[in-house]
């Protein structure tokens, strides 16, 4: 199902045809383009649609659509934004994943578009408020908390000592000075990102004319800048430790619910096991996992069905006051790995077409499409009517066997021989679309021990850190490897150990039986 650009709102015509960002604000239930000079400037009373277009090497485009809702936006405007994203996606081919973004609870993907951060301002068209220009407003002292090592979540918190803690970084913005308070448990990456936010605040709200000071958690009044900082809170006092519930930061896992959108209503579907067979291609469904909510739209559903399901999800969130729930909407055949991981069974992807000419840089995306535990950066597969997967097998491979808490590099002649009782770490470096990419993975044999699995994960994580978090990380298990894994290794042998008792000698001997489970020429 697709619609013509001619049937779209005029503001959307020509969208998604070039690499970059396009943003629209909802005004009187219509999308109004936001000029490039104002990209990243959001108002709390408004709703926005953000289209990220990525040009691929094969000449096609990948699209990601987000709709951002300020905390003061009206329900009608939020619903309009949700419906318009469905229309825009259909006109672009129905392949994009659509993300619902609420103020203060944005996804890392959206935050990565706007460096160093998103800091919404009061006002907005949707709520009837007037926009407040920065240079016109009287400066008010504000306290922000900053979280994140790669992208930064910035949230305003009450200007009070009780808002501070030892784990996070806080920015206190006063009329003449900006303080960065570094919690004693914060890391250097977080401090570096917070410093970028401090500079952004200085340039945006102070025209670059104010002092900046860093305050370390634990420094008392003897330090002049620390003394000045604590004086603003009425004097120094030790910060309390978090309670056990606050330290975990974990929410109670909600029971998974599957609802079908039928004639304007959401109808619960009972199930003993959540499997792919429950989804019918001519219907739309809502998978409610508590903190995450997914809208799945069958390939043969109409535009009206998709709009209705999107609107129903928005009403459900509003009615239940679940402002922190993340919502992702996707079309059948273009499901995300997180969505597929919720199911006990998911059919394998279609047979792969291998090509070293057209498929460079697709390894990470292919592994992720198989429903693996994949973390980090990735490149998407080429956009076609049906998903097609390519892979370049000309990269450089290194393999280590895990021994206790250490790893041993294997010779090239041994790196395709795995033992079911061991754990391995592999690093595959390959040519991406615009730079060299790196995949770091762990492989766990069925008979491997838990201690070495934990050590493998820890060692692989350190390798990712050493790569400055520019590597993709994957976790694989014996017997559940995707076909791309075998393409990387070319020829794989899995050796299984069988213990036999030699009664003639009354000795327990190790008999090694080499079983080739898969060998690709």
Digit-coded pLDDT (tens) for 396-455 = 889 999 998 899 999 888 888 899 899 999 998 876 655 677 889 999 998 888 889 999
Q: Give the separation between CA 369 and CA 372, rounded to whole angstroms.
A: 7
Give Cβ neighbours of residue 442 (< 8 Å, ≥ 6 apart).
423, 424, 425, 426, 453, 456, 457, 460, 474, 475, 476
Same domain assignment for residues 325 and 407: no
User: How many domains are there within the chain?
Assistant: 3
Predicted confidence band of residue 490 (pLDDT cuts 50, 70, 90): low
What average pLDDT score do residues 52-79 get?
Answer: 87
Is 166 within the bounds of a domain?
Answer: yes
Q: Are residues 322 and 410 in the same domain?
A: no
Domain enclosing residue 280, as ranges: 5-121+253-340
Tokens of 90: 């259909």
C-alpha 483/C-alpha 370 separation (Å) is 9
Coil/strand/helix, residue 244: helix
pLDDT band at 387 (very low <50, low <70, confident <90, very high): very low
Q: Are residues 174 and 204 in the same domain?
A: yes
Q: Same structural domain for residues 396 and 506?
A: yes
Residue 65 has pLDDT above 70, yes or no: yes
**Residue where a domain stops, chosen among 325, 340, 355:** 340
In a domain, 345, yes or no: no
53 and 193 assigned to the same domain: no
DSSP for residue 151: S
Q: Say if residues 376 and 472 touch (Cβ distance below 8 Å).
A: yes
Neighbours of 46 (CB within 10 A): 28
pLDDT for 168 equals 92
**CA–CA separation, 108 vs 111, rounded Å?**
5
Residues 449 and 314 in one domain: no
In a domain, 311, yes or no: yes
The reported pLDDT for the residue numbered 253 is 55
Residues 387 and 274 in one domain: no
The residue among 291, 308, 340 that closes a domain is 340
pLDDT band at 358 (very low <50, low <70, confident <90, very high): very low
d(CA 432, CA 246): 41
Whether residue 370 lies inside any domain: the answer is yes
Q: Clarify whether residues 153 and 116 are in a common domain.
A: no
> Is pLDDT above 60 for 132?
no
| Alpha-carbon distances of 367 from 382, 391, 422, 439, 490, rounded to whole Å | 14, 11, 22, 10, 16
Do 373 and 333 lie in one domain? The reply is no
Q: Which is more confidently placed, 302 or 127?
A: 302
**The pLDDT of residue 434:** 57
User: In sequence order, which residues have a C-beta less than 8 Å from that of residue 65 and are 6 or more positions away?
Assistant: 49, 50, 51, 52, 85, 88, 89, 96, 97, 98, 99
Residue-level pLDDT at 35: 93
Residue 446 lies in a domain: yes
Q: How far apart are CA 246 and CA 143, in angstroms?
A: 20
Q: Report which of 105, 109, 98 is spatially closest to residue 70, judged by C-alpha positions.
A: 105
Chosen domain end from 306, 340, 374: 340
Radius of gyration of the chain from its Cα atoms, rounded to whole angstroms = 26
Confidence class of residue 480 from pLDDT cuts 50, 70 and 90?
Answer: confident
Residue 246 inside a domain? The answer is no
- The separation between the first and the last C-alpha atoms of the chain, rounded to the nearest angstrom, is 40
The answer to the question of residue 130 being in a domain is no
Give pLDDT tens digits for 69-120.
998 888 889 889 999 999 898 888 888 889 999 888 888 889 989 988 898 8
Q: 376 near 337, Cβ under 8 Å?
A: no
- Nearest alpha carbon to residue 220 among 234, 238, 240: 238
pLDDT at residue 327, rounded to an integer: 87
Dist CA 128 CA 73 (whole Å): 9
Q: What is the pTM of this model?
A: 0.60
Whether 513 and 377 map to the same domain: the answer is: yes
The 10s digit of each residue's pLDDT in 222-258 is 678 888 898 899 888 888 776 444 444 444 456 789 9
CB 439 within 8 A of CB 378: no
**Burial class of 249 by CB neighbour count within 10 A (0 to 12, 13 to 18, 19+):** exposed
Task: Please indicate, yes or no, if residue 449 is contained in any of the structural domains.
Answer: yes
Instruction: Give me the residue label for tokens 């219509």.
Output: 30
Q: What is the pLDDT of residue 507?
A: 30
How many C-beta neighbours within 10 Å does residue 267 have? 11
Distance from C-alpha of 155 to C-alpha of 300, rounded to nearest angstrom: 41
Q: Residue 313 pLDDT > 80, yes or no?
A: yes
Question: What CATH number did the domain enclosing 227 receive?
Answer: 3.40.20.10
Q: Indicate if 158 and 65 belong to the same structural domain.
A: no
Higher pLDDT, 520 or 133: 133
Do residue 10 and residue 95 come from a single domain? yes
List, in order, residues 6 or more apart from 39 with CB less than 8 Å away.
21, 23, 114
| Confidence at residue 372, expressed as pLDDT on a 0 to 100 scale | 52
């Amino acid at each position: 199902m697709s619609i013509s650009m001619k049937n779209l709102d005029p503001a959307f015509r020509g969208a998604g045809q070039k690499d970059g960002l396009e943003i629209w604000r909802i005004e009187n239930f219509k999308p109004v383009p936001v000029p490039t000079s104002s990209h990243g400037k959001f108002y709390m009373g408004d709703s926005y649609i953000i289209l990220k277009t990525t040009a691929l090497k094969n000449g096609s485009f990948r699209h990601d659509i987000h709709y951002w809702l300020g905390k003061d936006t009206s329900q009608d405007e939020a619903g309009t934004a949700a419906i318009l994203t469905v229309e825009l996606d259909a006109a672009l081919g129905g392949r994009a994943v659509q993300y619902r973004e609420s103020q203060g609870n944005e996804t890392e993907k959206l935050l990565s578009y706007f460096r160093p951060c998103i800091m919404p301002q009061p006002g907005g068209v949707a709520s009837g408020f007037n926009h407040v220009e920065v240079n016109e407003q009287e400066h008010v002292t504000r306290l922000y908390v900053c979280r994140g090592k790669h992208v930064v979540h910035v949230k305003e918190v009450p200007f009070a000592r009780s808002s501070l803690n030892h784990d996070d970084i806080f920015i206190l913005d006063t009329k003449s000075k900006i303080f960065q308070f570094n919690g004693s448990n914060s890391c250097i990456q977080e401090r570096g990102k917070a410093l970028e936010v401090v500079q952004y605040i200085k340039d945006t709200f102070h025209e670059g004319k104010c002092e900046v000071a860093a305050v370390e958690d634990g420094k008392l009044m003897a330090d002049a800048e620390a003394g000045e900082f604590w004086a603003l809170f009425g004097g120094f006092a030790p910060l309390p430790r978090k309670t056990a519930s606050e330290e975990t930061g974990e929410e109670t896992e909600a029971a998974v619910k599957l609802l079908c959108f039928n004639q304007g209503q959401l109808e619960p579907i009972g199930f003993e096991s959540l499997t792919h067979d429950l989804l019918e291609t001519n219907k739309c469904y809502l998978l409610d996992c508590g903190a995450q909510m997914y809208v799945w739209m069958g390939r043969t559903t109409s535009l009206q069905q998709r709009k209705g399901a999107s609107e129903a999800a928005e009403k459900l969130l509003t009615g239940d006051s679940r402002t922190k729930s993340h919502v992702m909407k996707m079309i059948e055949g273009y499901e995300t790995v997180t969505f597929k991981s919720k199911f006990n069974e998911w059919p394998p992807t279609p047979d792969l077409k291998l090509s070293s000419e057209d498929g460079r840089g697709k390894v990470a995306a292919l592994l992720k499409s198989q429903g693996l535990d994949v973390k980090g950066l990735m490149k998407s597969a080429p956009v076609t009517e049906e998903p097609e997967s390519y892979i370049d097998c000309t990269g450089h491979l290194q393999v280590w066997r895990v021994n206790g808490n250490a790893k041993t590099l294997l010779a090239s002649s041994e790196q395709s021989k795995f033992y079911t009782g061991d754990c391995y770490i592999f690093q595959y470096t390959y040519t991406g679309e615009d730079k060299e990419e790196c995949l770091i993975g762990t492989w766990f044999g069925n008979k491997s021990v838990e201690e070495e699995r934990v050590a493998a994960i820890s060692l692989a994580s350190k390798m990712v850190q050493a790569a400055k978090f520019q590597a993709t990380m994957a976790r694989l298990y014996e017997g559940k490897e995707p076909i791309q894994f075998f393409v990387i290794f070319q020829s794989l042998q899995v050796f299984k150990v069988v213990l036999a008792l030699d009664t003639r000698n009354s000795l327990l001997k190790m008999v090694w039986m080499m079983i080739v489970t898969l060998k690709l020429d």
